[in-house]
Every structure is written in C-alpha cells, then in structure tokens.
Structure 1
C-alpha cells in the first residue's frame, strides 16, 4: 500500500512542476489518516515502511553526496552550514528545556529543523527511544513549517535583492526537507537549485555525527525510557557514510546512480506516505502549543542564521 502511495505521489509530482513526490506522499497520507479511516490490517506494513524503508532510503541518499562537491563549496559556505545546524540544534534544546519540553521531544524537533526533516527525526528516534506521539509531533512540525518555506523563501529572496545563487544558498541552509529544498530551489530558477541542493546535502552530512553523539549520551545517562541501550552508531548511519564514500570514489557509473536515485526517491516517498498515515492532527492538537512554538522558533532561528551567513559568505 505504501509503495502504491509512493507511485501515486510520483505520478502527481510529474503533473505539477516543482512539486516533490516526497511532499505529495506525506500530504496524501496525512489527508487519508485524518479524513478517512485507515484499516487496522495495514498497521504492520505502515510500521515497516516508516522505519525499514525510510532507513534504506537514507542509506541510498548518501549516493547523492560527493565529498568533493561538499568541499568545493568553500570554507565560508561550509562555515554557514555548520553554524546553521549547530546554533539551531543547541539553542532549540536550550529553549525547549526552559519551556519544560521533554528531552526526546526537544531532540526530535531540533534535529528535524536543523538537519534534514523527517529523515533526521527518524534517525534520532532510533537513537533516543522517543515515544511514537513525540515522533509524530516532530514530523508534523517539520512538514508544516518546511512546506510553508517553499513559496516564502523565493519571494523573500527577491524582496531582499538576493541573486539566484544566494537565494539558493539561503534555501539550502535553512529549509527542513531535501524535497522542500528541491521545490523551493526550482521555483527560483537559474543556478539556485544546484546551490540549494548542494548546501542542503552538506547539512545532511551532519546527521551521522549528531546521531552518534545522541546515542553515546543516551547510553551514558541511561535516558532510554525502556532501558534499552541504543547502538552508538545505528546501522543505517554506517550505511549512509559508506554510500557517501562509494559515491566519492567515482566508481559508480552515472546511469546506475540515476536508477538508484529513483529507487531512493520511491523508498523515501513510501516512507513519507507511511509517516503521513501516522499523522493524527487531533493528537497534534492535544500535545499543546509548546512544541509548536518551539518548532516555529527553531524555524525562524535557522532562517536568521542562514540569511546572515549567506550575506557574509555568498556563494562563489
């Protein structure tokens, strides 16, 4: 069912220029979940897709990353990437603590906003042993606020007088999901999309060390709620790093990479569809306004940090 949803999302995205199948998949899944009853018989497959297929998609996502392309951004742009991720992640954790939000919920929101949206939330969920409703809340927030950025950032880039490449850098350094970055970068045109995706994938590179750090912290503090000791580095993160190194070696032919990118997109779209099926708006309303305010604040923060960095270190 989730693969069928992914195929449908792919078809819809081909009909609407600039719309990512990942975004379509999670929206369609969420609409189904909240407007029509989801049969209980689908639950095992939905759970499998939202975890196993998502992790497989994250591993293949590494094949889009080349170390040479990341390093080719230059030290200034890389500094902006590190600052956007690091400042947003740290400040979100700190402010969330002041707001009385649980550690796991803070970690999920901070990682989703600062790194790469739902994929980061899923990775941190595995490392932090977060509750299902906390994960659903974090995913809902990154989908909501990240989707709003798709039309807003191209518009603001024009208002601020940024050229296409600078707008693309701002988009890549601040927007939550890779799919949302593609959609926003495509809307700007020019060289914005290439810069936006490269900067975004540089942010994705920080996923592995952050998840490893969270895992180490959870093991040392025993913060896992059910007594489990999460692995220091989850298996799929090891696979992600291996995929980056494999792509960087240059041994994979371009036609194979193109096919694997389609497979990766379908896997992530199926996972997004499954995550959408688990997105209960009523449950999100019940969690209260604090997580929503934290997600909004984190989004505004990374927008500000990324814009300042873009103005200081514009792309070459």
Structure 2
C-alpha cells in the first residue's frame, strides 16, 4: 500500500496537468468548434517544458502510454457484430479492402521511395482506420525510436486537419458525383479519418446519411484490433536476439476484443457502454495532450515535405478507391 501511495503521489502532478490540458481542449472544441484532439496536441506542445520538470515528468509519461492503452481498449464497447450484418457483403468487402489497400499501398510506396516504412504504416493506419485513435494504438506497438513521438504527433495533427477539411469538402463532392443518400453515407464513413468529423459530415446531409456514415466508420474502427495485433506479432518476430520482446498479444488489444465480444452478445448494460465510451474519450484526449507535452516543435518541423505529401496521398488514395467502389456497387 505504501508503494502504491508513493507511485500515485509521483504520477499525480503530471497526470493532473495532462488532464487539465485535455479539459481546456474540450472547452475550445465545444465553444469554438475546433477539433478537440488537435487542440489538445497544440496546447500540449506549448507546455512541452513541463515534461522536463522532475515533478511532472513521470505522470506525463504515464498518461502518454498507459492512459492511451486504456482509452483504446475501451473503444471495444462501441463495436458489435450486428453492425456488419446491416451493410451486406459487397459494401463490407469494399470497406475492409479500402483499409487494407491503403495501409499496403503506403508501405509499398515507402519501400519504393526509400522512406521510413514504420512511419508509412503509422500514417497509413491512421488514414485507413480511425485517425488519431488508430495512430496512437499503432504507435504503442512500434519499436521505441528517437523520432517515434515526433512521427506520432505529426500524424495526429495532419490527419486531424485533413479530416476537418474532408468534413466540409466531401459532402459537396458526393453531391457533385451524383451519389444518393446511401452511397454518400458509405463514402463519408469510409473515407473521413476521425469519428467526430464523420458524424459532422454525415448529419450535415441528412439523418439517414449520418446514421449510415457512423455505422461504416465504426466498422473501420473494428479493423483496429486485428491490424494492431498483426503489427505486434511482426514486431515481436523481428526483435533483435536477446532484446526484450513485446507481449505476444498486447493487453489493450485483448481488452478491446473482449469488450467487443461482450457488446456483440448483448451482455453490456447501456449505462456501462456509455460510461466506458466517455472514459475512453477522456483517456485518449488526456493521452494525446501528454504526448504533445513530450514533443518539441522544432523536431516536429523536421518531418519535412515528403511526409506531408505521403499523408495527403494516402488520403486521396482511400477517397478515390471508395468513391469508385461506391459508384460501382451502388
């Protein structure tokens, strides 16, 4: 008990600071319409000096890793097998294929161009699955490296900004392409990176489109667990001889799958799902604020133009792929 109290005491200042930044980001989001994740990152970067303060550094490090995994695990309460049955095999195949093709094309492009394949996988997964949440989950199973946190922050900032632009532009694009409400819902849910922006774009068209776009987006979120699990297995196999290997299956992936299974079986009461979803959102927001507090703006700018071009190309790729697929399937 004494050791637990000492640990809590050492973590509290940093965790409290990260939570405070998350609350400020949420306030800005609710009152000014700015994406909460983006605000949390930017505010965190402005307070980066706190990660070097001995009193707050342990709690900030704890928030950036442990709270992140808790938040991702709790996303499982939003997933159920019933979602899949509502779409049909054709559209389901298109959505899953779009996710896998985007990640595969990203890694292939990085290999051909001689770029960092880990960054390509990180950004490709964020674009293909669920934006900032996917980026943080994938980052947690990648090997630790000096530029890892810089790449994570850059990916979260870029996909959040592109997702916000897509929220405005894609409903207009869908209308110009002559998509009906069903096609528009699948297109929006299958291409926009973050859940919040999918909701904003879908319901700006109609309630029916918003419901379908949200459903499609959550099906993309279900891809998070198998992708992260596959990455963890590959990284484990490639770990140098004698080095500490990551667990065979990360605990937060097991948590995600367990909660998704319980939700699919109807064993989770509504109040629990709502509470877990709220805790997940706040844990992820606090975690990304902490990651921002550990990131140097100068290092972030070192990512360079090719990385920006890669994320933009990934976004264009999945939009083109889903657009053609939706037009063909109907």
Q: Verify same fold: TM over 0.5.
A: yes
The residue number in structure 2 matching 1:3 is: 19
The residue number in structure 2 matching 1:219 is: 236
Is 2:44–2:290's contact at 8 Å kept on the other side of the alignment? Answer: no
Count of paired positions: 308
For the pair 1:103 / 2:103, whether they are aligned, the reply is: no
For the pair 1:24 / 2:41, whether they are aligned, the reply is: no
Deviation at 1:28, TM superposition (A): 4.2
The residue number in structure 2 matching 1:156 is: 173
- Say if 1:83 and 1:118 are closer, same or farther in 2 by CA, change over 3 A: same
SS in 2 for 1:116: coil
Look at both structures and tell me which one has the larger radius of gyration over its CA atoms: 2
The TM-score, its normalising length taken from structure 1, stands at 0.87
The residue number in structure 1 matching 2:3 is: none
The TM-score, its normalising length taken from structure 2, stands at 0.84
SS in 2 for 1:185: helix
Distance in 1, matches of 2:195 and 2:277, equals 13
Match of 2:182 among 128, 146, 165: 165
SS in 2 for 1:127: coil
Deviation at 1:259, TM superposition (A): 2.6
**Structure with higher RCO (Cα < 8 A, 6+ apart):** 1
> Deviations for 1:220-267, whole angstroms, at most 9, x for unmatched residues?
23379x943222321101100001011111122223322322222222
Give the alignment's Cα RMSD to 1 decimal: 2.4
The residue number in structure 1 matching 2:102 is: 88
For the pair 1:141 / 2:153, whether they are aligned, the reply is: no
Using the TM superposition, name which of 37-46 and 175-184 deviates more. Answer: 37-46
Distance in 2, matches of 1:259 and 1:217, equals 34
Which runs of 5 or more structure 1 residues have no equivalent in the other structure?
none
Deviation at 1:179, TM superposition (A): 2.6
Which runs of 5 or more structure 2 residues have no equivalent in the other structure?
1-16
Deviation at 1:278, TM superposition (A): 4.4
Distance in 2, matches of 1:223 and 1:136, equals 27
Is 1:29–1:275's contact at 8 Å kept on the other side of the alignment? Answer: yes
For the pair 1:230 / 2:246, whether they are aligned, the reply is: yes
The residue number in structure 1 matching 2:211 is: 194
